[in-house]
Amino acid sequence: MHHAGLTRPAPPRPVRASVALWAGRLALALAAFAVGTALGRAENPIALLLLAAIGVFAAAATVAQLRWSLVGGLFLMVAYAPDVLASRSATHALIALLVAAALLRVATGRERIVVTRELVAFAALAGAYVLASIGASDRAAAAAETLDLVSYGAVIALLLLLLDTPEWLRRAVWAIVAGVGLLGVMAIAQQVTKTYGSTYGGFASVLPDGDALRSAGPLNPNPFGQVLATSAVLAFYLALSYTRPLARGCAVALAGICVVALVYTQSRAALLALAVAAIVIAVLRGVRPRVIVVAACAVVALGSVVLPQGLVQRVDELSDAAESGGPTLADGSLRGRASENLAGLHMWTDHPLLGVGPDNFEVHYQTYSAAIGIDQRPEERGAHNLYLESLAETGVLGTVAFLGVLWLALGGAWRARSRLEGRDALLAEGIAVALVAFLVCAITLHSAYARYEWIFLGLGLAAGCLARRRAA
HEC profile of 132-199:
HHHCCCCHHHHHHHHHHHHHHHHHHHHHHHHCCCHHHHHHHHHHHHHHHHHHHHHHHHHHHHCCCCCC
Whether residue 305 lies inside any domain: the answer is yes
pTM of the model: 0.85
- Which of 107, 126, 151 is the last residue in one of the domains? 107
Same domain, 32 and 126: no
Instruction: Give yes or no for a contact between 16 and 10, defined as CB atoms under 8 angstroms apart.
Output: no
Q: Is 384 left (phi over 0), alpha (psi -120 to 50) or beta?
A: left
* The amino acid at 47: A
Domain, as residue range, for 30:
14-107
- Which of 72, 107, 142 is the last residue in one of the domains? 107
Same domain, 149 and 276: yes
How high is the pLDDT of residue 385?
A: 93
How high is the pLDDT of residue 4?
A: 42
Same domain, 99 and 187: no
Whether residue 455 lies inside any domain: the answer is yes
**Would you state the torsion angle of the CA atoms of residues 146, 147, 148, 152, taken in this order, to the nearest 10 degrees?**
100
Divide the 472 residues of the chain into consecutive groups of 10 and give the mean pLDDT of each group: 44 54 59 56 57 64 87 96 88 91 90 91 96 94 95 95 95 98 97 94 92 92 97 97 94 97 93 94 87 71 60 54 50 77 94 96 92 82 92 96 97 94 94 97 91 96 91 67
Whether residue 176 lies inside any domain: the answer is yes
How high is the pLDDT of residue 329?
A: 43
**Would you state the torsion angle of the CA atoms of residues 369, 392, 385, 332, taken in this order, to the nearest 10 degrees?**
0
How high is the pLDDT of residue 447?
A: 87
Same domain, 164 and 64: no
Same domain, 167 and 19: no
Q: Round to whole Å and give the CA distance between 383 and 343.
A: 8
Number of domains comprising the chain:
2
Same domain, 101 and 133: no
Same domain, 266 and 138: yes
Same domain, 53 and 166: no
How high is the pLDDT of residue 292?
A: 72
Whole-angstrom CA distances from 53 to 56, 58, 70, 323 are 5, 9, 21, 63
Same domain, 83 and 184: no
How high is the pLDDT of residue 317?
A: 54
How high is the pLDDT of residue 124?
A: 96
Rounded (to 5) percent helix, strand, coil in the chain: 75, 0, 20
How high is the pLDDT of residue 149?
A: 95
Same domain, 196 and 100: no
How high is the pLDDT of residue 56?
A: 64
Same domain, 198 and 266: yes
Q: Round to whole Å and give the CA distance between 420 and 64.
A: 29
How high is the pLDDT of residue 446?
A: 87
Give 305-309's long-range contacts (Cβ < 8 A, gap of 24+).
307/263, 308/212, 308/263, 308/264, 308/266, 309/212
Same domain, 201 and 92: no
Whether residue 8 lies inside any domain: the answer is no
How high is the pLDDT of residue 313?
A: 58
- Which of 52, 82, 107 is the last residue in one of the domains? 107
